[in-house]
Amino acid sequence: MVIPSRWLDSIKAWILPGTINNSGASLFSIPAAWNPAFRAAVFIACLIPFLVLVNAVASNSLGPDPAEHLMHVTGEWVMRFLVLVLLATPLARYGWLRLVRYRRMLGLFVWFYATLHLLVFAQVFIGWSGEQLIEELAERPYVLVGFLAWVILVPLGVTSAQAIRRKMGRHWRTLHKLIYVVAVLGWLHLLWLSRSDVGDAVVYGLIIATLLVYRVRHVLVNASAKAS
Amino acid sequence: MPVKPWTAFPQIASSEITPESVWLNRRSLMKAAAAGAGLATAGETVAESKPTLELDYAPAEDGTAFKAAEMLTPYDAATSYNNFYEFGTDKADPARYADTMTTDPWEIKVGGLVNKPGKLHLEDILTGFDLEERIYRFRCVEAWSMVVPWIGFPLSALLERFEPKAEGKFVEFKTLYRRGEMRGTRSFTSVIDWPYREGLRMDEAMNPLTLMTVGLYGKTLPNQSGAPLRLITPWKYGFKNIKSIVEINVTDRQPRTSWQDLAPQEYGFYANVNPEVNHPRWSQGWERRLPSSLFNPNRIRTQMFNGYSEQVAGLYKGMDLARYY
């Protein structure tokens, strides 16, 4: 039975990571020849939320106050792509390598939607006023953490090119660990701006906490394995 | 308690106002266009699904604070973009879900420190008072604003019927709380302690600007706008304007209000529109006058007391408005 044995492997991988070999064919494996087409499909899928927004703005169908909706939707997609990026490694350890193959693309979409989020803020909330930006950053911690998260994404995005990555060697990995900081700042941003309903912040908090705890646990398990 | 005599309002230029025929025309044109293209926004379809009745009322007097000389926010915008958390926290939720609320029959209990406690029924509020139109600016604490032609009667006229006692210093209001008809009150992540409660100081309640509102745009209020009876205090942030009122009490101490209970550092009892006192999470110096769009956000500066200083500033003489926000 293929499925139960994969489940067993998954359980084993969770308890004893690093002891199973994931190189075998996965349930979800796709012929290698399909990869370029699949990559293009993933790219288009990631762009769909943006295209939907462009269409809505162009057809003026966002209601009388699109400011909040535009901020909300772009912000939500930042969080969703962040979760996908953070999911890639754990899923790869369980044998599903598909997501990790597109991690760079997904990471760039985090940056893309975060940039849109910032542009909408500049356009509808502060009217491109530097003075108002400074006031916002100085007086509103949630704006500050959100802005910081975007600032951190800039070097991550810039260094995502393959050539730069090669040049940077092991420093690249260290730098890109900052995505964990982005995730925590993004979550704080979401938490601090919620009003009476903290549902979203709780859901993302649980997901992100689980994914970060997974990393910490992995590091600890590896360290103890090395020590013994 | 002494009630200030009503003083005449200063003249306001009416050159900027859009004639009714213009926006009516624009609206019917837009509707025709939408119908032709087989499109209709949620707001339009829902607003039409529950019939609103035409009201008999006296128009607002030109050149007074009762008639803001500014472009009106279209009916569809005013009735499709609402905060009414009893039906959900999304601005479109009230237009989508408020139809589930039964507004007929309706009963409003008036009590507390009054000589004649009693009840008002739907018929009493629609026909028992002289209705007037008031075109007011409406400024939400979330930094968006509208201009709406409300229809109602002064709160003072209602209170006088029940004869507030001299020791009555405040007025407390409560919204209907009916879980079965209000899906937002059943959300387990919502932290509001229902029913929604608001309050005014007695002199604020007796101010002629303070309107018990039964309609807008010539018709009774649709449910999402707080049918059948809501409060409008145009110099205060929108959340003070409690909707679908079922209880009014005169009290001798400052009533607890829902938003103050929830986040006292963000929402005060007074909630006067004040560009000098920012909300902790955003600036109150500016507002988006709706309808707004991405390429034309329509940002304008917010005015002190929402532009009603002349009528209400006296109520707060000597008060530190940064402390009593």
Tokens, residue A75 = 């912000």
Decide if pLDDT at A13 tops 70: no
Per-residue pLDDT of A61-72, as tens digits, reads 998 999 988 999
Number of A–B residue contacts, CB under 8 Å: 82
- Mean pLDDT, chain A, integer: 88
**Is A64 close to B85, i.e. CB distance below 8 A?**
no
Q: Do A64 and B262 touch (CB under 8 A)?
A: no
pLDDT recorded at residue B14: 45
Is the ipTM reported for this complex over the cut 0.90? Answer: no
Concatenated DSSP letters of chain A = -HHHHHHHHHHHHHHSTTSS---SPPTT---GGGHHHHHHHHHHHHHHHHHHHHHHHHTT-S-S-HHHHHHHHHHHHHHHHHHHHHHHHHHHHTT--HHHHTHHHHHHHHHHHHHHHHHHIIIIISTT-HHHHHHHHHH-HHHHHHHHHHHHHHHHHHTTSHHHHHHHTHHHHHHHTHHHHHHHHHHHHHHHH--SB-HHHHHHHHHHHHHHHHHHHHHHHHHHHHH-
pLDDT band of A2, cuts 50, 70, 90: low
Residues B104-128: what's their mean pLDDT?
A: 96
Question: What three-state secondary structure class fits B144?
Answer: strand
Within 10 A of A145 (CB to CB), how many other CB atoms are there? 20
Residues on chain B touching A139 (C-beta within 8 angstroms): 278, 280
Residue B9: pLDDT band (50, 70, 90) is very low
Of residues B51 and B147, the one with the higher pLDDT is B147
pLDDT of residue A223: 87
Q: Which of B80, B187, B283 sits opposite A197 (nearest CB)?
A: B187
The pLDDT of residue A17 is: 54
Please give the pLDDT value at position B5.
Answer: 41
Q: What band does A171 get if pLDDT is binned at 50, 70 and 90? A: very high
Note the pLDDT of residue A94. Answer: 83
pTM of the model: 0.78
Q: Residue B74: phi, psi to the nearest 5?
A: -55, 150
Reported as a single tens digit per residue, the pLDDT across B261-310 is 998 988 999 999 999 999 988 899 999 999 999 999 999 999 999 999 99
Predicted confidence at residue A99, as pLDDT, reads: 86
pLDDT for residue A134 is more than 60: yes
Chain B residue numbers with beta carbons less than 8 Å from the beta carbon of A137 are: none
**What number is the average pLDDT over the span A92-118?**
92
| Phi, psi (rounded to 5 degrees) for B15 | -70, -25
Give A-chain residues touching B144 at CB under 8 angstroms: 65, 67
Instruction: Tell which of A116, A196, A206 to mutate to test the B interface (max B CBs under 10 Å).
Output: A196
- Closest CB to A127 among B91, B280, B299: B299
Query: Closest Cα of chain A to B270: distance in Å?
Result: 19
